[in-house]
Amino acid sequence: MGQYALLYILFAPFAGAIALMFVSNRKALAVRLIAAASAGVSLLASLYLFFAFDADKGGYQFIQRFEWSKELGIAFYLGVDGIGAPLVLASSILLFAGIFVSWHIKDRTKEFYIVLLVLAAATIGVFMSLDLFFLYFFYEMSVLPMYLLLGMWGSHTKGYLAMTDPEGLKKRDAVSFLFNFGSNSKEYAAMKLTLFLSAGAILSLLGILLIYKFSGLHTFDILALREQAHFSGPLADLIWLLIFFGFASIAPIWPLHSWSPVGHAAAPAATSMLHAGVLMKLGHFSIIRVAFEILPETTRELMPIAAVLCVFSMLYGGFVAFYAKDTKYVIGYSSSSHMGYVFLGMAALDYISLSGAVLYMFAHAMATGMLFAMAGWVYDQTHTRDIPSLGGLVNRMPFVAGCFLIACMASIGMPGTVNFIAEVMILVGSWNKYPFQVFVAVVGIVLTMAYLFRMMRGVFYGPMDAHYSHAHDAVTMVDRMPLVLMITCSITFGIFPGHFYKVIRAGTDPLVSRITQVTPLVGNAHNGSQSSVLSRQLTDGTQKFAQKTDH
């Protein structure tokens, strides 16, 4: 298992998708069990990978390398460090949970699970790729499944009625969907997502090709480029901007964010879970893996761009979420807002802040995965996401309402959840360099509390419409298990963060040291010293806490 853990994690979903091609759609239970088994193998291997990761050794571990094209300098090169391992785990958890969240899908069940497995495997491939060619290959592979999942199994939003005639019979033609940017059909959402992500992918591809061309190394090997490639001047700036904005579009950062909430609203529940939980993290991770590793000097000079844009992400997403009336739009804009926190932690380039940003990516995946799973459950029972028309559902679904409360607590960073630790690390680590942004982030937390509890009150409390008297709670193990799994991960790692923290620091410490040593901090020595002292104190405190919990 140890030597081939990455191959098990990556290819188990692909193997499940291939096996499903030979199963009839009439055998729905067999389809679901095969999908669950393949996702379960990936999850078990991911858990082994995460807990077997040697934080003291650090670096890239569980390496697998196969020469793919010696002439082009391309290799199927896999490995994870302290940054990739938690995200691989998050992908596997959400895939396994998403299989069971989608257990009751009856429309082309086999095809749905095939596409879902390919989507999850593609995101996992990005997190473990150490070759630029395959990193981009898996990145692009994740776009097509999203288009299919939204276009075939998605749902129209309330605004879809505006695209029909008065009798509600005719749909607008496909050409109109392309140019009618006020529409809210699932086809429009799928097309918008594809166009935005493809445009960003083209930018990042140009950056990767420039790295390949002007490095002089004739290789896509990220580790070789990190050690031997040297870029400076306008060329380095151009490459960095292409990489940053190309990958930031999927993050998504303001103003490249508008595709994401629309995609959330139209997507089925499991797709929204993977979309918010891991697909959006591909942008942050790819920026870290490519721009931070290969262009450290330029990262130090230009990363303040992210510190400026993240302010708009946090505030704009928060205010729109507050006024949204659709449950998925609230959670979708909330996710866009929270991704600004990750960019803030990255922009500060501090040991604590960057570690907090990586931890927040995992924490956000668990919390938002729960919220989207329950929003999907409510929609399946009531066939509406319109908050003003809902209410009183706590009497019909007390278990879902209780899980929804825990998910809201996690999203706002309640102590006892892993989100709390991540948020504190981002705020503490960013304070010396970006105090204004930290203040905005605190305002964003208050906003998060306001709109999430406002949504919960509107959905679960107050008088209930008689039309929803048929709604029922999640009572079977299949329905409850994915929620319990994500809640358990959020709380367990929030109470016992020792190993998680050590793993992440094994990946972020060398990276921050490399960036800060390339260009010494002139005029900020005092702040840097404070940050180093605070970093050591937090590390020592966490290690002592971990030792106590082990005993």
The three state secondary structure string of 340-356 is HHHHHHHHHCCHHHHHH
- Token pair 């790295």 is found at 211
Cis preceding-peptide flag for 415 (omega within 30 of 0): no
Q: How many CA atoms lie within 13 A of 432 on its CB side?
A: 22
The bridge status of strand 74-80 relative to strand 61-69 is: antiparallel
- Closest C-alpha among 104, 103, 118, 124 to residue 8: 124
DSSP 8-state class, residue 253: P
Instruction: Give the residues of the chain that fall short of pLDDT 70.
Output: 1-2, 156-186, 518-551
CB 210 within 8 A of CB 242: yes
The CA–CA distances, whole Å, from 165 to 158, 237, 293, 441 equal 15, 51, 54, 44
CB 378 within 8 A of CB 459: yes
Report the Cα 473 to chain-centroid distance in Å.
28
Alpha-carbon torsion (182, 187, 189, 191), positive or negative: negative
Please state, as a whole number, how many other Cβ atoms lie within 10 Å of the Cβ of residue 326. 23
Q: Is 81 helix (H, G, I), strand (E, B) or coil?
A: coil
pLDDT at 391: 82
Report the Cα 282 to chain-centroid distance in Å.
7
pLDDT at 530: 38
Residues 6+ apart with CB under 8 A from 299: 240, 291, 292, 349, 515
| Cα–Cα distance for residue pair 368/407, rounded to 1 Å | 7
Query: What phi and psi values does residue 78 have, to the nearest 5 degrees?
Result: -120, 150
List the structure tokens of 83: 């940054």
CB 219 within 8 A of CB 71: no
CB 403 within 8 A of CB 371: no
The CA–CA distances, whole Å, from 544 to 61, 493, 541 equal 25, 16, 5
| Cα–Cα distance for residue pair 340/21, rounded to 1 Å | 40
| Cα–Cα distance for residue pair 354/365, rounded to 1 Å | 17
| Cα–Cα distance for residue pair 24/358, rounded to 1 Å | 41
For the chain, how many residues are written?
551
- Token pair 């391992």 is found at 85
- Token pair 């592979």 is found at 141
| Cα–Cα distance for residue pair 214/227, rounded to 1 Å | 15
Residue type, 543: Q
Q: Concatenated DSSP letters for 291-341?
A: IIHH-HHHHHHHTHHHHHHHHHHHHHHHHHHHH--BHHHHHHHHHHHHHHH
pLDDT at 147: 83
Report the Cα 273 to chain-centroid distance in Å.
9
| Cα–Cα distance for residue pair 39/356, rounded to 1 Å | 28
Q: Is 216 helix (H, G, I), strand (E, B) or coil?
A: coil
pLDDT at 550: 45
Write the secondary structure of 270-302 as one string of H (helix), E (strand) and C (coil). Answer: HHHHHHHHHHCHHHHHHHHHHHHHHCHHHHHHH
Rg for the chain, CA atoms, rounded: 22
pLDDT at 541: 45
